Amino acid sequence: MITQLYTMQTVMEALACADAGADHVGITPPHGGLPGEVPVRLAAEIALAVGNRAKAVVLTVWTDPVAIAELVDATHPAILHLCPPAHLTSPAKVAALRARLPGVPVMQAVSVTGPESIAEARAYAAVADYLILDTQDPGIAGVGASGATHDWRVSREIVRSVRVPVILAGGLSPENVAEAIRAVRPWGVDSLTHTSRQLPGGGFRKDLERVRAFIAAARSALGDDPDTRADPD
């Protein structure tokens, strides 16, 4: 079971999460108010420092292919995570961007709202390397970071009906991730809100105790085999 942890704000935080067993570490360059944003230069430093310990995933809510390509050139992610609201992008645009960035796998976010999300996920699965199923927060300019779960029955149907790896996100914690895995049977799971601790005066940092608990719970849910955690070629 792949585990993906957002969002890394220092090199040491990313290395600590990788050493705790995270397979993917998520980084959020500046976009204008997303949780845990870091300067582009620091995002690049984090991705470089992580190296082969984990896959560095860089998130963007942008839709402009030129701006996204510049971000990729500046940060060198192992995976590009696209999460603009669905009405601002399309599978055709994702396909064009993927062709523009050969060698950079694309993870497309899908906001799971109801059965209508199944068709949307299938369309994106035809052009992306991964899907991440998340919960929309209307107050955030992108899919995710809501800290809320969604209907796992819909997510399970998406997993059944697509042929790309699917990461389940949205309100997952050490307390519910095993239940979520058994219900959805995803390829991986993602956590931001419920593996972080709030700081006095605002902001947050990863809570390494909860990170370790999340990873342990995820990997024990189905009797994890390390060979099944390899990313697709």
Report the distance separating Cα 162 and Cα 173, nearest Å: 25
CA 9, 14, 20, 23 torsion-angle sign: positive
Q: Is the pLDDT of residue 193 over 60?
A: yes
- Report the CATH architecture of 2-228: Alpha-Beta Barrel (3.20)
pTM of the model: 0.94
Look at residues 116, 153, 111 and name the one whose alpha carbon lies nearest to residue 135: 111
Considering only residues 223 and 51, tell me which one the structure prediction assigns the higher pLDDT.
51
Angle at 40 between CA 44 and CA 62, to 5 degrees: 115
CB-based contact 204:192 (threshold 8 Å):
no
Q: In the chain, what is the straight-line distance between the N-terminal and C-terminal CA atoms, in Å?
A: 17
Q: Residue 222: count other Cβ atoms within 10 Å of its Cβ.
A: 13
**Structure confidence by residue, pLDDT tens digits, 81-97:** 999 876 788 999 999 99
DSSP character string of 142-206: SB--------HHHHHHHHHH-SS-EEE-SS--TTTHHHHHHHH--SEEEESGGGEEEPTTS-EEE
**Structure confidence by residue, pLDDT tens digits, 7-40:** 999 999 999 999 999 999 999 999 877 889 999 9
* pLDDT for the residue numbered 226: 55
**Structure confidence by residue, pLDDT tens digits, 135-192:** 877 766 677 667 778 899 999 999 999 999 999 999 999 999 999 999 999 999 999 9
Provide the angle, in degrees to the nearest 10, between the axes of the packed helices 40-50 and 65-75: 50
